[in-house]
Amino acid sequence: MTEDVFKALADPTRRRILDELAERDGQTLFEICARLVSKHGLTLSRQAVSQHLAVLESAGLVRTRREGRYKFHDIRTRPLEHIANRWLRPDEPKGTP
C-alpha cells in the first residue's frame, strides 16, 4: 500500500488535487475541475481528473461518497501518517550525533 501512495504522490496534478481537497474537503468532480482551472490554470477533462481521483482513491488518499446523484471526494491523511511515522522517531537524547 505504501508504494501505491508514493506512486499517487509522484504526479503533480494529483498533489494539486490533494491540496484542493485539503483546503476544502467534500468537493464534487465539477468543483475540483473548476478549482484546478481557476487556481492552477490546468485545463484537464473531467475524465482525466476522474482517473487521477481513482488513483488517489486506490492508494487510500481519497474517499468517495455518494449523496443522491452527486459524488463527493474527501481527503484521507492516514496513509500519509504511516509514511511520516516510518521515519520519525522520538527525540534522541542530547549529545547524540
Which residue carries 508514493 as its cell?
Answer: 6
Structural domain boundaries enclosing 66:
2-84
Task: Please indicate, yes or no, if residue 80 is contained in any of the structural domains.
Answer: yes
Which pLDDT tens digit goes with each residue over 20-66? 999 999 999 999 999 999 999 999 999 999 999 999 999 999 999 99
Task: Please indicate, yes or no, if residue 96 is contained in any of the structural domains.
Answer: no
**CA 41 → CA 12, 13, 20, 44, 66, distances in Å?**
13, 11, 13, 9, 28
Task: Please indicate, yes or no, if residue 95 is contained in any of the structural domains.
Answer: no
Q: What is the reported pTM? A: 0.84
Please report, for the domain that includes residue 62, its CATH number: 1.10.10.10
Task: Please indicate, yes or no, if residue 90 is contained in any of the structural domains.
Answer: no
Task: Please indicate, yes or no, if residue 89 is contained in any of the structural domains.
Answer: no
Task: Please indicate, yes or no, if residue 63 is contained in any of the structural domains.
Answer: yes
Beta strands in the chain (DSSP E): 62-67, 70-75
Q: Under a CB-based contact definition with an 8 Å cutoff, are residues 60 and 82 in contact?
A: no
Give the count of domains, the chain: 1
Question: What pLDDT is stored for residue 82 in this prediction?
Answer: 83
